[in-house]
Amino acid sequence: MQSLTERDYELLSSYIDGELSDAERAALEIRLNAEDELRRELASLRQTVALVNQLPKLKAPRNFTLDKPVAQTRTIPFPMTAAFSALSAAAAVLLIVFGGYLLTFSGSSPATSAVQIESQPGQVAQVPTSMSDPQDSVENSQAATDERELMYGTQSQEALESAVVGESEEPQEDALSFAIAAPTMTEIAQTAIGGQGSAGADQAEETDFFAMPAGTQLPPSAAMDAAAPMIMQQTAESTAEAQDNATANSAAGLAIPASPPSSTSTPLPTAVAELQTSDGTVQRAAATESPVPPPQPTLIPQQKIGAELGSSTIGSVSIIVGIVFLIAALVTTLARRRRKVA
Amino acid sequence: MVSNPQNEQKLIRQAMKGNLDAFNALVLAYQDNAYTLAYRIMGDSESAADVTQDSFITAYRRLNTYRGGNFRAWVLRIVTNTCYDELRRRKRRPAASLEEMGADMDDGIPIPDDAPSPEQAAQQNELNSAIQNCISSLSESQRTVMVMSDIEGMSYQEIVDILGMNLGTVKSRLSRARVSIRDCLQSVQELLPSIYRLDNNE
């Protein structure tokens, strides 16, 4: 009996129901004439089908007609459907994740951190936007310069200085290698101090600018736009003397602090007043030599604070709404189960 | 009342417009088919009745999804799906399911269309119980195909339409179901009336 394959049983079953094609039926009948086992199986299957077929057609124990109240009241409102529960749960997850994301990242906004440019050239740095004490900025700039001197030695320092004062048409490679940001920044500083900064540049990519790796040179116009707001901000805070000192200390970009990331008051080298000429030399242009326009008030801090408040508010609201959706999903699921059990 | 297809289509149209009486006429026409299918799949009369009622309620609510064709097949498809839902629910709640099954053991004898004499009825019930037990031992998918084919008398194509599976799958499942039932009945054939005893060729 077990020598027959599943395909044989399928053929026999379909043969009983008259569902074989003419060719299949003819082929099977030839086999049936030749194989006793196949015939026996066909007979037993026919008997089985006959037995099942003789089961009586049942009569419904009652009428299943609907009356109006049943037809109407059994209609499940959408909030009670499984689809609603599933959608609510999905919305809850999305809103809570979105809200958590907003809250997390609004708390660590770059607006509250200071410049954190590593002393190693090419490292990624962060951008400050907070106001800082000008005196601190001078001290920090000086400290940074001293630190850099220690790290890179006098040779590099000399090379830098020569590059700064324009003694050499081609500044030495190693000097520029860690002073790479300076020309660009000084261009910006000069532009800003000269009152050419664009007031509408507060959306400039400060972070992107400062985060650029060494060797990257921004197009002058882009750099100008990017740094204008910071320059203005710093200018508003700094005294002329502080600017002078900062300029001196931060020449050739050495005002970039090497302080640890915990430092929150490190200033930007905003008072740098150097100009990179078209032939590649760097000229010093002290702040005192070009009159600084009166500090321009800026709304950047308020805007940033507002943006932070907005994002944290949206985050909180998202989480609350998400929790409401989650509760709705749970309640409707439980209600549905209770109804089914009842 | 649903004696001809034209009348049936007319009732369906009226029911789709919200005419409950028209829908109830369709219910009366197909409730025996629906109940029989539900009983054979569920294995007890109480569950079968519940499933049948739920199926007609569902059918009424989803009349707008009916796209023409064989209305009986459409109704029986709903019945099949409702049975599957109920069986799945039982699997999730085995304790409740056992209670229900225990309660149904006593009054599980369905009402046949033509009531025979008491002796015939007893013999028939014995046979029916044996067959039903064997049917109940099949997997859900095999059981459904076999009930549709060998009890409801549907063609392969009708089963394909109702269950939404291909013809090869229907043939394969039906074939396996029949072999399983044959083996099951051979193991309990001493319980069967002699005229129904299967030849044992082993």
DSSP structure string for A96-136: HHHHHHHHHHHHT-GGG------SSTT-------S---HHH
pLDDT class of A77 with cuts at 50, 70, 90: low
Q: Is residue B107 part of a domain?
A: no
* Measured distance CA(B184)–CA(B18) in Å, rounded: 47
Number of domain units in chain B: 2
**One domain for residues B8 and B85:** yes
**Among candidates A43, A61, A64 on the partner chain, residue whose Cβ is nearest the Cβ of B111:** A61
Q: Is residue B109 part of a domain?
A: no
**One domain for residues B62 and B140:** no
* Measured distance CA(B101)–CA(A315) in Å, rounded: 52
**One domain for residues B121 and B90:** no
**One domain for residues B70 and B132:** no
Residue B169: its chain A contacts at CB < 8 A? Answer: none
Q: Which residue has the tokens 């116009």?
A: A221
Interface predicted TM-score of the whole assembly (ipTM), two decimals: 0.80
**One domain for residues B73 and B125:** no
Q: Is residue B21 part of a domain?
A: yes
What is residue B1's predicted lDDT score, i.e. its pLDDT?
A: 52
Mean of all residue pLDDT scores within chain A: 62
What is residue B195's predicted lDDT score, i.e. its pLDDT?
A: 61
Q: Is residue B105 part of a domain?
A: no
Query: Domain range spanning residue B38?
Result: 1-94
Residue of chain B minimizing CA distance to A2: B202
**One domain for residues B194 and B142:** yes
**Among candidates B114, B181, B202 on the partner chain, residue whose Cβ is nearest the Cβ of A52:** B181
CATH code, domain with B202: 1.10.10.10
What's the whole-number mean pLDDT along residues A178-203? 42
What is residue B135's predicted lDDT score, i.e. its pLDDT?
A: 92
Residues of A with CB under 8 A from a CB of B: 1, 6, 9-10, 12-14, 17, 19, 40, 43-45, 47-49, 51-68, 70-71, 74-75, 340-341
Structure tokens at A302: 């308020």
* Measured distance CA(B107)–CA(B87) in Å, rounded: 20
Q: Is residue B111 part of a domain?
A: no
Q: Is residue B102 part of a domain?
A: no
For chain B, the first-to-last Cα distance in angstroms comes to 51
What is residue A342's predicted lDDT score, i.e. its pLDDT?
A: 55
* Measured distance CA(B35)–CA(A56) in Å, rounded: 12
What is residue B70's predicted lDDT score, i.e. its pLDDT?
A: 85
Beta strand pairing call for A274-276 and A282-284: antiparallel
What is residue B51's predicted lDDT score, i.e. its pLDDT?
A: 95
For chain A, what percent of residues have pLDDT higher than 90?
A: 18
Yes or no, beta carbons of A55 and B132 under 8 Å apart: yes
Q: Where are the alpha helices (DSSP H) in chain B?
A: 5-16, 20-42, 45-61, 71-92, 94-106, 118-136, 140-146, 156-163, 167-187
Q: Is residue B99 part of a domain?
A: no
Annotate B28-74 with DSSP letters as a single string: HHHHHHHHHHHHHHH-SHHHHHHHHHHHHHHHHHTGGG--SS-HHHH
Q: Helices A300-341 and A220-237: crossing angle, nearest 10°?
A: 100
Residue numbers in chain B where pLDDT is lower than 70: 1-3, 94-116, 120, 190-202
What is residue A293's predicted lDDT score, i.e. its pLDDT?
A: 54
List, in sequence order, every beta strand (DSSP E) within A129-250: none
**Among candidates A44, A55, A60 on the partner chain, residue whose Cβ is nearest the Cβ of B182:** A44
Name the amino acid, one letter, at B189. Answer: Q
For chain A, what percent of residues have pLDDT higher than 70?
A: 36
**One domain for residues B127 and B169:** yes
**One domain for residues B9 and B86:** yes
CATH code, domain with B72: 1.10.1740.10
Residue B156: its chain A contacts at CB < 8 A? Answer: 17, 19
In sequence order, the 6+-apart residues with CB closer than 8 A to the CB of B40 are A55, B132, B135, B143, B147, B151
A287-305 confidence digits (pLDDT tens):
444 455 555 555 555 566 6
Q: Is residue B23 part of a domain?
A: yes
Structure tokens at A202: 């507060």
pTM, two decimal places = 0.49
| Beta-carbon count within 10 A of B22 CB | 18
**One domain for residues B90 and B121:** no
**One domain for residues B18 and B68:** yes
**One domain for residues B131 and B76:** no
**One domain for residues B90 and B126:** no
Question: Out of A27-36, A83-92, A198-207, B101-110, which region has the weakest mean confidence (pLDDT)?
Answer: A198-207
pLDDT class of A71 with cuts at 50, 70, 90: low
- If you ran DSSP here, which 8-state letter would residue B166 be given? -
